[in-house]
Structure 1
Amino acid sequence: MRDTLTEDERAVLIRTAHALADAARPETLRHFRTGIATDDKGPGPGGLFDPVTEADRAAERAMRAVLSRERPDDAILGEEYGPQPGTSGLTWVLDPIDGTRGYISGTPTWGVLISVADETGPLYGIIDQPYIGERFEGGFGRASVNGPHGRAELKVGKPRPLSEAIVLTTFPEIGTAAEHAAFRRVADRARLVRYGMDCYGYALLAAGQVDLVIEAGLQPYDVQAPIAVVTAAGGLATGWDGSPAHGGGRLLAAANPQIHAAAMELLAG
């Protein structure tokens, strides 16, 4: 379908995606840093605490309401309310708050993830950080960020060796022992590793700030918007073995083919 959409159809999908982000923003901000009550959906990956709040649910309800008006024939896959079938061949993949652990801790590294996909994977995606006021978009010929510094084009960083690289991850919080060991093989070669960045790490990769993001234990709604944004900015986002990753699991996002290959070799052991 990605090759058959007209320019007008793409423009409508882009406008709809931004309308979804606009609808989710106030719902997430309404509860941020307020001591909102937290439920445990657990066990999450590794049997860990898997929080959800009313902000997660309210933001997804707000986005679904937009889609029911604007795109009733499209399917929906959302983290909090699951799948809804459609007939158009397009699916909106929604994570109302990616990084709820960060959200309830008050860190501004969580985000709203929105993507529209066909059977081959994401076509266009948004990573929105409401508190900072940054919105990253990628797909349909677009790769840009709009935020406190205005609008700028997204472009991944220039190639450099792994020994000079900056790596972002949610490890060691998630993943199996074998995945931890694989990640350490990459981390031990890198110049700098930072932890717990959630979806904001992919936004920073697309903006040219970092070289690699490595994660595991992911769901489709965790990965599809980041894949769209990173690839639109000129980067790569695949499974640890180089396979398509839009179904979730293990994700290796890289600024360029050289560092992607170096990291993939180490992850394979």
Structure 2
Amino acid sequence: MEGYKSLKIIQKSPNSLVYYLYLNRSRRFNALSHDFFTEFPKAISSLDQNPNVAVIILAGSGVDFQTLADVFKETHAADCARNVERLRRHIKFMHEAITALECCRKPVIAAVHGACIGGAIDLITACDIRYCSSDAFFSIKEVDLAMTADLGILQRLPSIVGSGNAMELALTGRRFTGSEAKDLCLVSKVFTSKEALEEGVKVVADEIATKSPLAVIGTKAVLLRSRDLTVEQGLDYVATWNSGALLSDDLKEAISAHSQKRKPKFAKL
């Protein structure tokens, strides 16, 4: 794997199709740096294109998942309009890094422990599944820094927790616990400790990795696409998708394995 300054990729078990992507700036509380925004989409793309990767687990090294971004610098152009254009381009550049999670065909599971503040929630809301430990806490902190959150939280959170809940959390910037995050459906489950979180997430990832990779990437693609479509349009999209995918050998293998009462073996993607 390519070396990164802000990230670390680990395959913990030989022959495992589950890979771990760690935010690796624990001395800076895993704050998002310029290196991160350059490296993260490259890392996600490399994992996506690797046929030995079926599922990605995103986690933070050290005591926190992640805190605020650490990327803004003063602009120096004399022309105000040019400063504005440069800043807008920089924000769009950061958008691409977060959106890389949704562009990735493979499912990405967020495992959150400790602080998950500001840019952290932008990151996890772009993941496909989210879990946390009981010590986790969350905050959309930008409003307290005189900023409008701009890395995707305001666009993605309402579809996860509901418009009213998203509005309240974003306008107050208040801290909320893992238990409340579970009640809001921001996370699917709260584990008693970081160790229990790691083990629980591994079980889920391993289970997903045993399934047809074509079915997994198709399910993710259709769910994400359907967010922005009417039911009728979504049905048309899945019909188009399955008109090709149902011709795969994976369907034959799944039916054969079921009839023979054995675990199916699917080809890598």
Q: With the length of structure 1 as denominator, give the TM-score of the two structures.
A: 0.26
More strand by share: 1
More helix by share: 2
* CA radius of gyration, larger in: 2
Q: With the length of structure 2 as denominator, give the TM-score of the two structures.
A: 0.26
